[in-house]
Structure 1
């Protein structure tokens, strides 16, 4: 996995250029609940051979309701003639409570970025299946993090969800360990995404360590 800052890929198609990104507030997000749930179901379609099964529509809506209530909640949607993607999350508080349950010692660089208020947790990146879905997802995560002047993105993924883990790693996210959440029945993988050259440099040693011990 690469610890490089991300950005729009070259050679994007006219169809991709037609995708518009727009920020929505918590009240607008509530009004989009049904459409977002449909998007969630479409985005989680996997091969019949895939053993991992994502939580259902109602579970997603319950989680969305909880996220909307969090201080600093933010969402960016992608649309053409309809909703094609979204990314949502909230700022991680500087007191470090978000990291409780982390297995082992939290890397010092991440601890410092958290204390300075530079970490933003992305709880979902959803994109309707499309040949350009990776580029749309990267644009969404970039917009969400840069709008909040975040130095580091952070997200949690069920370790059984191999499609999502593979996608995030290919986009430059670093797998830094596991964390336990009471609401989950399994350990979750913790992934972080450095924003900009300065943060990437701070995590350079961490990125090397991750490459040598990254789980299969």
Structure 2
């Protein structure tokens, strides 16, 4: 297997390489056969939104071509992105949000051939090495067993559950959310967090 190299991408570089990143998305998530185009287009819409967020940051893994990436951004201080959260946020989460010290990990992708080789951990370490925040948060689908396994292996804890984000809200795109929900589709999401060391 080829050696894996990591590198940061600027916002401009990320936008320039969006098609290669979408290729990694399609390969990493192997959706329903025949739905690749819809999934890819939904991913590209979410990616375009994420790249414009404050303090967007991204790292990619290359091994004779892109094989993985991780990106995120600083969460807004308004806390609007907590809409849909079920329950009461812990006071320290609200305080970190208001202080602008929450970083959202939006997407982690590693193609199947390079999983369980430490690539995701290396991506995480490099991405978070230059962010001075109190809390890192990610939101995944409730049935995302692989995402949950990765977050647990990183020492994260489940914060709580979310309803599907409302259209036009400032909530971050939930990992794996590419389509428009039907009116009776009660998709649930899990929020995971880890205080910065």
Q: In which range does the TM-score fall when normalised by the shorter chain?
A: 0.7 to 0.9
Cα distance in 2 between the residues matched to 1:164 and 1:75 = 18
Is residue 2:14 matched to residue 1:29?
Answer: yes
Cα distance in 2 between the residues matched to 1:87 and 1:190 = 17
How far apart are 1:138 and its partner, in Å?
1.4
RMSD: 2.5
Match of 2:139 in 1: 156
Number of residue pairs aligned between Structure 1 and Structure 2: 176
Q: Normalised by the size of structure 2, how large is the TM-score? A: 0.79
Cα distance in 2 between the residues matched to 1:137 and 1:94 = 28
Give unpaired runs (5+ residues) of structure 1.
1-14, 197-216
What whole-Å deviation, never above 9, does each CA across 1:25-53 have from its counterpart, x for those lacking one? Answer: 1221111111111101111138x9xxxx9
Cα–Cα, structure 1 residues 187 and 134, in superposed 2: closer, same or farther, change >3 Å? farther
Cα distance in 2 between the residues matched to 1:82 and 1:190 = 31
Task: Pick the structure with more strand per residue.
Answer: 2
* Aligned with 1:182 (options 160, 166, 178): 166
What whole-Å deviation, never above 9, does each CA across 1:126-178 have from its counterpart, x for those lacking one? Answer: 11223554511112122222222223211111112222223322222211101
Match of 1:7 in 2: none
SS at 2:27's partner residue? helix
Match of 2:194 in 1: 193
Task: Pick the structure with more helix per residue.
Answer: 1
Cα distance in 2 between the residues matched to 1:103 and 1:110 = 14
* Aligned with 1:120 (options 99, 103, 108): 103
